[in-house]
Amino acid sequence: MELQSVTQGQLFKLFALHLFSTMVAFMLGIMLQSSGYNAPLGVLTGALLGLAYAYFACKLGLRRPDRFFIEYGPEIVGRWLHYPLLLFIVLSNLLIAIINFWELQDVMIQFYLISTPPWAVVSICCLCVAYTVRFGVKSVFRAAEGLFFVSLLSFLLIPFVVSENFNWFSMRGIATYFNVREAWPTAYYTSSVFGEMSFALFIFPYLTSPGKTFRSLIASTLVAAAVVLLHIVPLLLIFGPELSSNLNYPELELLRFMRSGSFLETLDPALIALWLISLFVKLAFIVYVIALILARSLRLKDTKPFVFPITVFIAVCSLVIVKSDTQFRSMIGGGILTVFWISELIPIVYYLVDTLRRSWSQRKEAASE
């Protein structure tokens, strides 16, 4: 089967959309609750940590750019370790997708589809994601490419339309108060999201100009971090850290707070619709990575047989595992972030082992000569 090509521009747009859509829509309240005025510092630190994970993943992928990591992994660490590690990555991605599915249906039911059964909302979302993935990796990246500029514009619009309500005296606290200990919870939290860029390793054979992959991921990180900061700062200047941290969806409250006429009232649901579509793209990428791992591990070249079962499993779990926002925050505050971290560190383990094996092989060849 001929591999479908994904350009570096498409890669940049997908990961930028992947990163800022999640953090702005669902993570701002947790960031401000954890770090207060030091949340911006935490975001920047988390972005740097995520880039470090992605760097080693790209270095590993560039050593065999025409082969899937799933297939050459056993040559590095052995089959007995490779497949358990792949299973761990699959489970981690399933958890990420389950959490995002729950967040998606929660915000829809709370604000727009009140009294609608959760299973109905999840079923519709499930079909949208599954059909996007079923048409292949190119379909996922083209969806991101088509949405990127419109979605980015919608995210950039909000800070400017609410600027007249800023309490500028609070800027002094943001600009002068730095505490690494307070910033660390947000850094730990956001690095697990930025670290998802390391999963680009799984699609290396699809990429055109693979040598430029890390540059594309740097650009995605810069754009995503800038967008997140452009939303955290207005929340701090208008609501302050205490009120913002007690809102389930502070970004939606910011939208409601800025209403000053019929135009903005009409704009509100349009912006939310763009955010939700952006999340569909993120979920489609995660489902594709899971399907690709399973297909290639079983020596199948087609991911289609796995797409619907995986998506249905994620949808059902999102209905069963989490029942309320309180339970969700308690779960996120537990060991799940550590699970995400470990899965994103796995490519680094492969890179280090591969480097040691190469060094040992070169020394052995030099000694034999």
13-48 pLDDT, tens digit each: 999 988 888 888 788 888 888 888 888 899 999 999
Place of tokens 């959760």: 118
Write out the two tokens for 187: 């850094």
pLDDT score recorded for residue 357: 87
pLDDT score recorded for residue 331: 67
The span from the CA of 169 to the CA of 229, in Å, is 18
pLDDT score recorded for residue 109: 78
Place of tokens 């947000």: 186
pLDDT score recorded for residue 264: 52
For residue range 233-287, list pLDDT tens digits in order: 888 888 887 887 777 778 777 776 665 544 555 566 666 777 778 888 889 999 9
The span from the CA of 243 to the CA of 10, in Å, is 38
Asked if residue 155 lies in contact with residue 24, where contact means CB atoms within 8 angstroms, the answer is yes
pLDDT score recorded for residue 182: 87
pLDDT score recorded for residue 2: 43
The span from the CA of 266 to the CA of 276, in Å, is 17
pLDDT score recorded for residue 268: 64
For residue range 66-80, list pLDDT tens digits in order: 889 998 989 998 889
The span from the CA of 343 to the CA of 104, in Å, is 23
pLDDT score recorded for residue 1: 43
Mean pLDDT for 219-224 is 94
The span from the CA of 261 to the CA of 179, in Å, is 40
Instruction: Using pLDDT thresholds of 50, 70 and 90, give the confidence band for residue 326.
Output: low
- Runs of H (alpha helix) within the chain: 8-22, 28-35, 39-63, 69-77, 79-111, 118-134, 137-161, 171-176, 180-194, 213-238, 240-245, 250-257, 262-297, 304-320, 325-331, 337-368
Residue type present at position 355: T
pLDDT score recorded for residue 23: 86
Q: Which of 135-139, 250-254, 332-336 has the highest mean pLDDT?
A: 135-139
Mean pLDDT for 127-144 is 86
CA distances for 119 relative to 109, 131, 308, angstroms: 11, 18, 16
Q: Any idea which of 59-63, 122-126, 216-220, 347-351 has the lowest mean pLDDT?
A: 122-126
What global pTM score does this model have?
0.89
pLDDT score recorded for residue 262: 43
